[in-house]
Amino acid sequence: MRVNGIGVSPGIVIGKAHWLKRQRALLTGIVLQNDSDIATEIEKFNKAVSLSVAEVELMIGHSDAASDKEGLAIMETHIVLLTDPQISEDVIEKISQEKKNVNDAVIEVILNAVELFKSMNDEYLSARAADVQDIGDRLLKNLNPHSHSSTQQYPPDTIIIADDLTPSDTISMDVTRVIGFATQVGGGTSHAAIIARSKGIPAITGCGHELINIKDGDLLILDGQSGDIIINPDETVIEQYHVRRADWLAQNSQLHSLKNTPASTTDGINIKLFANIGNAVDMEQAIGFGAEGSGLLRTELLFMGRDALPTEQEQFEFYKAVVLKAKDKPVILRTLDIGGDKQLPYFNFPAEQNPFLGYRAIRICLNRPDIFITQLKAILRASVFGQLKIMFPMISGIEEVRAAKVILQQAKDELTTTGIAFDKNIPVGIMIEIPSAAITADMLAKEVDFFSIGTNDLCQYTLAVDRMNEQIKNLYDPYNPGVLRLIAYVIEQGHKNNIEVGMCGELASDPKATLLLMGMGLTEFSMSAAAIPQIKNIIVNNSLSAAKKIQQRVMKMDSSHIITAYLQEVTQ
Amino acid sequence: MIIKDYTITAAEGMHARPATNLVKLTKNYSSLISLKKGDRTVKLSSLLNILSLGIKGGETISIIIDGEDETSAIIAIDAFFKEELKHL
């Protein structure tokens, strides 16, 4: 039998079910008779508060600050809530004015606050209701001298099943014994989910009523990725999941072992490994692969598959979502790059003999400032939420850069007039993908804050090879010495003018090219997220001085066959 | 009395973690410190009240400080909104 919920923390575990049932305090309806009763109840409340604070402080003392930052922050918040003047004022008022006993007063005050948060149409704040409920439960427990501590010793390989888990439940879970949990309610942003991820135990929330089919002691398989729980599986299924678990552990440890390792060479040079992304989900996954930012956010996705241009507000929400996921890591956003092979159903592209040499990217944007300024305003508005940079594609010369910057300034002026906040110093860069731009890199560098080399187009334009044409695709070769000289020149000129140079084309993810590019002085590589661990593995095992020697030799070689064979050999 | 407006630039608005730190910060001062959003004013000493305002990124709030140490309080609060809140 199976139950399905939302997988909120990945991993596969097999263990025994244990229901966590919580006893909730009930209203007594007692009416206080005199002032002495009132004073006693108020004193009980104050005592319960200090006891509760002491308990949470003890939890903080026992927790491992380095590994459980999330848990610590939650406990700090609980202490502030336990001593919240508004809560105590309300409780004391109920005791002294409405003559309720402390038990009933606390239940009512907490219930009101919980309902308030739940009613606030905001996923995050509704989840905070759990914090208020949690401190309320703690106060009530400490009001009743007969109830004892809720910490319980579980047998090894326990999977906790509960209607819901309070943050305290999750934080105090002993992960040497509790290997996973599943709850009826909750979502991906609940504390329980956050803590599960930070503790690295699989968890499923939102299983709904079906969860009652699980009985104490049932054997369970819990897949925190898919959100599946299998109840009392047979031998073959268990066997399958043992294999899947082993695969998952192996994969996880391999990726994980490099994930937090900085991409530094053996001689201590830091290289930035960024991801090419299309939306916020990509950004989140990229960070999972160890990306330190995004070197290319393609914005086309937002414009495609719809029947009208996205509004400024839609674009703003989209860019903001990406920047929030990046959590202060840099994101280089490429302005609209349509045309060529990327058509839009609602935008009339003229028929062209050579679409790749035609009306596309910045050429469209400069011709249609209405579309361009809408995008730029949305980008600027999103820029206050993190580290956003603007990049213009398909630049062939300095006039285009200046024209684009004029429109950017207009966008800034319009926002300033309406009083909307944006990052006034947002860095502006260009893609170097047209040979004329590469050859004039020394001039362009004075006009912008960074370059990003787009090797796919740079290669096809330099070699006059259509990369979509099957017959000549063998000529499409980024190791052609002509292409390599252009790349080396762009990097050199970037350094001379003190601007950053990155690469977001396919060459950045080619392991053969890593040392050569490092030798040229490239310090930022942006690629598909899944390629990051492999490239990082090369970087951490080599030195910049060795890479420089490799580059010097390669630049003297006259054929790409010799170059690729040599690079293949030195990359081993 | 000092009144100062701030636009919340923190990624996801005034969340529990920065709000917790703000409450802790204000406990160091004897001045009465309040926060105003729209027509609602709450004391900064109550996390519950701050959270109940549901302050979102991009919204503007006012901080009102009244008391003997108001000038040193505004410096600390200023620093909090400019730096800390952005990086929490």
What's the CATH number where A489 sits?
Answer: 3.20.20.60
Looking at the DSSP bridge assignments, the partners of residue A468 are none
> Do residue A286 and residue A138 come from a single domain?
no
Last residue of a domain, one of A93, A115, A143: A143
Q: Are A205 and A5 in contact (CB under 8 A)?
A: yes
Q: Would you state the pLDDT for residue A190?
A: 67
Smallest CA–CA separation between A447 and chain B, in Å? 29
CB pair distance less than 8 Å for B51 and A124 = no
> Do residue A273 and residue A133 come from a single domain?
no
In this predicted structure, the answer to whether residue B88 has a pLDDT above a threshold of 60 is no
Last residue of a domain, one of A88, A108, A143: A143
Is A199 within a domain?
A: no
* Rounded Cα gap, residues A179 and A167, in angstroms: 17
Smallest CA–CA separation between B71 and chain A, in Å? 24
- Which has the higher per-residue pLDDT, B16 or B41? B41
Q: What is the pLDDT of residues B48-61, one digit of tens each?
A: 999 888 888 788 89
DSSP A68-113: -HHHHHHHHHHHHHHT-HHHHHHHHHHHHTT-B-HHHHHHHHHHHH
Please give the angle made by the CA atoms of A460, A463 and A464, to the nearest 5 degrees: 70
For chain B, the maximum distance between any two Cα atoms, rounded to a whole number of angstroms, is 33
Is A526 within a domain?
A: yes
> What is the helix (H) or strand (E) element at residue A34, kind and residue range?
none
* Rounded Cα gap, residues A12 and A200, in angstroms: 11
CB-count burial class (<10 Å; 0-12, 13-18, 19+) for A58: exposed
Q: What is the pLDDT of residues A81-101, one digit of tens each?
A: 999 999 999 999 999 999 999
Looking at the DSSP bridge assignments, the partners of residue B32 are B66
Chain B interface includes A424 (CB < 8 A):
no
Q: Are A387 and B87 in contact (CB under 8 A)?
A: no
Provide the number of structural domains found in chain A.
Answer: 2
* Rounded Cα gap, residues A496 and A391, in angstroms: 20
B85 confidence band (pLDDT: 50, 70, 90): low
For chain A, the maximum distance between any two Cα atoms, rounded to a whole number of angstroms, is 100
What is the distance of C-alpha A291 from the center of its chain?
A: 10
Smallest CA–CA separation between A169 and chain B, in Å? 19
Q: Would you state the pLDDT for residue A189?
A: 60
Tokens standing for A230? Answer: 């299998």
- pLDDT below 70 — which residues of chain A? 64-68, 145-152, 187-191, 198, 251, 254-256, 305, 341, 468
DSSP A305-323: SSSSPPPHHHHHHHHHHHH
Chain B interface includes A86 (CB < 8 A):
yes
Chain A residues in contact with B55 by the CB 8 A cut-off are none
Is A546 within a domain?
A: yes
Gap between the terminal Cα atoms of chain B: 28
Tokens standing for A318? Answer: 């989209």
Q: Going by C-beta distance under 8 Å and a sequence separation of 6 or more, which residues neighbour residue A389?
A: A330, A331, A332, A333, A426, A427, A428, A429, A449, A450
- Domain holding A43, by residue range, is 24-143
Chain B residues in contact with A124 by the CB 8 A cut-off are 12-13, 15
Q: Mapping DSSP to helix (H, G, I), strand (E, B) and coil, where does residue A471 land?
A: helix
Active site annotation includes A191: yes
Chain B interface includes A180 (CB < 8 A):
no
Looking at the DSSP bridge assignments, the partners of residue A159 are A17, A180
Structural domains of chain B, with CATH: 2-87 (3.30.1340.10)
Q: Which residue of B has its CA nearest to A321?
A: B11
* Rounded Cα gap, residues B16 and A151, in angstroms: 26
Chain B interface includes A308 (CB < 8 A):
no
CB pair distance less than 8 Å for B20 and A76 = yes
Q: Where are the beta strands (DSSP E) in A206-334?
A: 219-223, 228-231, 272-277, 294-298, 330-334
Last residue of a domain, one of A96, A114, A143: A143
Q: Are A226 and A3 in contact (CB under 8 A)?
A: no
Q: Are A12 and A224 in contact (CB under 8 A)?
A: yes
* Rounded Cα gap, residues A271 and A535, in angstroms: 10
**Average of pLDDT values for B7-35?**
85
Is A200 within a domain?
A: no
Residues of B at the A interface (Cβ-Cβ below 8 Å)?
A: 7, 9, 11-13, 15-17, 20, 23-24, 43, 45-49, 51-52, 54, 56-58, 87
Q: Would you state the pLDDT for residue A180?
A: 94
Is A170 within a domain?
A: no
* Rounded Cα gap, residues A535 and A281, in angstroms: 22
> What is the helix (H) or strand (E) element at residue B56, kind and residue range?
none
CATH number of the CATH domain containing A82:
1.10.274.10
Is A474 within a domain?
A: yes
Chain B residues in contact with A126 by the CB 8 A cut-off are none
CB pair distance less than 8 Å for B12 and A77 = no
CB pair distance less than 8 Å for A77 and B24 = no
CB pair distance less than 8 Å for A125 and B54 = yes
Model-level ipTM above the cut of 0.90:
no
Q: Would you state the pLDDT for residue A65?
A: 59
Interface test with B, best of A49, A69, A77 (most B CBs within 10 A): A77
